[in-house]
Structure 1
């Protein structure tokens, strides 16, 4: 396994293919909701590969000058529970700290709360529906 960060077309295509498998086919989110205006040619992604197979991805975007907003975060079903998601999120936080971020704020599916809590995220909102899925906003201070 290896991880790549960037916005090359081949790399974005791998991230999009994985997002299609997980969010559109598995979770039944519409194509229009999943692939949004933030999916620009300049948008960077972390992707974990096993050979040429994308097995985990997370979109790298800032909410503001001091806040990273991890988004479109998923791991291929048969690779879940192996620490890949944790590795991806920690890599993203490390990059964000280097880019001057102090906080990480994300939209968490309610089914993933224990995962995020294990990484020191705390609930920061009431429940809401995003793309047809029950979510809450979570926050973590990543740098002092």
Structure 2
């Protein structure tokens, strides 16, 4: 293995060493580094905008570890903050080779190479890596987008939006189904983010709340993919739609657990926390026309 540099990696997972992970020498027990890399692998699939189980079901296979080679360069200790970098280095007929590196600041702690085999999930016999999956890996490493957002009406996007609402609101959050859909869907502008397998992974809608005021709602992101900017694509697309039609302000009822997400995009809270569909919400607003423009 060549010595990796931080610049080799696009995908990073940050963690802090826990007390249970150090040995009698008060340094990280060697086997935990492989666990760190395996944990970071979940972030890699998230960075690809692929919900792992659904993606493998669609592709008709699964990936299995065949070999892992570790090289130890330094030690990490309790409470150290580590960065784990991952990249898909090469793809063979049925093999997928990943390179990993764990850094403490700029100091390399561990480097590794992991060989996976794409195989039949039942028999675990190898089979060719699907061209679609190969393209996703290669595209991500080349800096290409992993998802696209479509904006349209309920007739064109309703099926995919409904699937996400069912997953997030009904199944995950336990909201009654009759509260998830309403007559406003027929008139609303909808946005759906799709990954490169054309699976819907995030959605939202835009309605006219009042003259000059747009309202964004029904924001939903597939559970395993949150934090990967997919909801941001939906929100920005709907905000741009409101801006183009001349709205001066956009508002929304944010679930309190997602308030930080909207704040990072410029929204501010207005009023008191309230309950809606059994979930705590806060109204948030964002001007679309600056005072200078007025």
Question: In which range does the TM-score fall when normalised by the shorter chain?
Answer: over 0.9
1:48 matched to 2:193? The reply is: yes
User: Measured at CA, do residues 54 and 32 of structure 1 come closer, stay the same or move farther in structure 2, by a change above 3 Å?
Assistant: same
Per the alignment, residue 90 of structure 1 pairs with 236
Q: Whose radius of gyration is greater, 1 or 2?
A: 2
Give the number of equivalent residue pairs: 143
Q: How do 1:1-144 residues align onto structure 2 when only pairs under 5 Å count?
A: 1-7=147-153, 9-40=155-186, 42-50=187-195, 51-144=197-290
Distance in 1, Cα, partners of 2:225 & 2:272: 30
The TM-score with structure 2 as length reference comes to: 0.47
1:10, 1:66 → 2: CA distance? Answer: 26
1:69: how far off?
A: 0.3
Offset at residue 8 of structure 1 (A)? 5.1
Partners of 2:260 and 2:244 lie apart in 1 by 27
SS in 1 for 2:282: strand
Larger RCO, structures 1/2 (Cα 8 Å, 6+ apart):
1
Check whether the contact 1:65–1:100 (CA below 8 A) recurs between aligned residues: no
Instruction: Report SS of the residue matched to 2:178.
Output: helix
> Does the 8 A contact of 2:274 with 2:281 survive in 1?
yes
| CA distance in structure 2 between the aligned counterparts of 1:80 and 1:16, rounded to whole angstroms | 18
Unaligned runs of 5+ in 2: 1-146
* Unmatched segments (≥5 aa) in structure 1: none
Provide the secondary structure at the position in 2 that maps to 1:52.
Answer: coil
- The answer to whether the Cα contact below 8 Å between 2:190 and 2:204 also exists between their aligned partners in 1 is yes
Query: Aligned partners of 1:94, 1:33: CA distance in 2, in Å?
Result: 27
